[in-house]
A and B are shown apart, each in its own frame.
Chain A
Amino acid sequence: MNRLQANICLLCVTLCWSTEVIIFACIPDSVPPFATTCITSIAGAMLLCLSFLKRIKETIRREGAGLIRRSLLLGVLNCAYNLLYLYGLKYFDVSSGAFTLSMTAVVLPVILFTARRKVSLKTWISAALVFAGILLAVGSNAGVGQFIGGVLIASGCIIRAVFIILLNDYSASGDPVSLSAVISAIVGVLSAVLWLITDPKGFGVLPWNTQIIASLVIYSYFIVAFAQTLNIFAQKQSTPANATIIYSMEIVMSVLWGTVLPASLIDRIELTPWIICGLVMVVLGNLVVLIPSRQEKTGEA
């Protein structure tokens, strides 16, 4: 795999994540978010195990406790930032929420820098452009009442940045399929605990019907099994900063869905000049990362 292929895979992962809202919209509000995460993560893990049982068994035999420990850490971080996002997003409207989530692209280079890791000039320029885009889009309608939401999302972004750095480190030497399967299984178990705490009635009272089952199946294979595995695979040839900046394209796609899809499916987003300017800055930030420099082209060749 080369850098071009990694970037294509990361863009595909971002596109998959942006469609999450569409799949979620097909699941009624009576199904708690932790139930969705629990069922789809376990189903995704099972699908991967069914398809690659031999490969996963071999990796577990080879890496043993190390794989479980790494996956457990990633699973806990994953649950933590999703939980913070879940509660933080309640303070924002759809477009502001989407933009604030992309703060990870700004936070991550700073964390790398403080950890004395090398951050390229291109990354700083991209992060600055994405940050300017977020300020333009969110700044126009931010208020004091959103302070707590902002703190929650900022904490979520920091945890997500650490998650991406660790995922990038682990994917370099690990098997993406096995790592994805074990992370999914662990996230499934952790979500089950959170589900039982927040809604003790649990599994038995879910309003099962074909629509819900179909949505959960799609989410399981599309977001959990496919997108997560592809993400880990792409990280092998990418840097955490590069990956996070590509992830920020999710807001461009989310705004696109919010503009073109019917209001019955998704909260409509009204395109204001500030949002358009913000999107342009995010796209520019991505182009800085995606277009290889002459030096990189020579290196690839």
Chain B
Amino acid sequence: MKHKIRTYILLVFVYLIVAAPFKVMEVIPGFADIRPVTLLGPIYALFYGIPGCVIFAVMNLVMDIVSGDIAWSCIAGLLANFAGPFFILYYWKRMSREDLHLRSMSNIMKHIVLIIFSAVLEAVIITPSVAFLYDVDWKLFFISVLLNTSAFPILFGIPLTVFIQEELGFKQISRKDM
């Protein structure tokens, strides 16, 4: 139990390190919403299971509250940030016969397609609530969510997963623990 609590605190700490700087600065003028922290979603899900998905979703809500972006649409954000990583976890642990190993092109491609599907799922959950509450261009918002939740997990999340699996020896949660 003590080990689990320590692990969850570490997950929160890593989330904060990655997310916080992007909350206080505008990296690309005109593109306010850049969230590289989304790369952690599939990793938290696959290596820490449902608690990992919950931490990822709750931390997203916490960051929204801290940065003053709190609104009813945050509930949709919470749901989407849980559903996206959970979808990836569910596929690899319940639907797929083989585990994620990223050692072959077919396995990598399968993971990329899953990430894109989960990004679409998240965008479909968040966009209507934001479009309903605010006067925003919903198409642009949809694309922004889609790019944020697919590009970072693919471009940086996959190499990071290779590193933590192959070098650090991290083990994914087992099918029965899910």
Name A's B-contacting residues (CB within 8 A): 1-2, 4-5, 8-9, 11-13, 15-16, 22-23, 26, 47, 176-177, 210-211, 213-215, 217-218, 221-222, 226, 229-230, 233, 261-262, 264-265
Contact = CB atoms under 8 A, between A and B. Distances in A.
A259 B167 CA distance: 36
Contacts of A9: 159, 162-163
Interface of B: 17-18, 20-22, 24-25, 27-30, 36, 102-105, 108, 155-156, 158-160, 162-163, 166-168
7 contacts: A12-B155, A15-B156, A23-B27, A214-B20, A214-B24, A215-B21, A230-B159
Contacts of A264: 29
B162 A261 contact: no
B166 A262 contact: no
A80 to B, nearest CB: 28
B25 A12 contact: no
Contacts of B22: 214, 218
Given A214-B21, A233-B167, A4 B159 contact: no
B21 A217 contact: yes
Contact of B17 (A26, A213, A217): A217
Given A1-B167, A4-B103, A262 B30 contact: yes
At the interface, is chain B mostly helix, strand, loop or mixed? helix
B25 A211 contact: yes
Contacts of A211: 24-25
A99 B15 CA distance: 36
A188 B84 CA distance: 39
Contacts of A233: 163, 166-167
Contacts of A11: 159
A15 B167 contact: no
B109 to A, nearest CB: 12
B163 A229 contact: yes
Nearest to A215: B25
Nearest to B25: A214
A5 B27 CA distance: 30
A5 B103 contact: yes
Contact of A262 (B21, B29, B103): B29
The 6 closest A-B pairs by CB, nearest first: A214-B21, A12-B159, A214-B25, A1-B166, A217-B21, A9-B159
A92 to B, nearest CB: 25
Contacts of B166: 1, 5, 233
Contacts of A5: 102-103, 162, 166
Contacts of B103: 2, 4-5
B160 A4 contact: no
B26 to A, nearest CB: 8
A287 to B, nearest CB: 15
A214 B17 CA distance: 10
Given A5-B102, A226-B160, A221 B18 contact: yes
A54 to B, nearest CB: 12
A11 B160 CA distance: 12
A108 B21 CA distance: 37
Given A5-B166, A262-B29, 4 more contacts: A5-B103, A8-B158, A177-B168, A215-B21
B108 A176 contact: no
A262 B108 contact: no
Contacts of B160: 226, 230
A15 B105 CA distance: 20
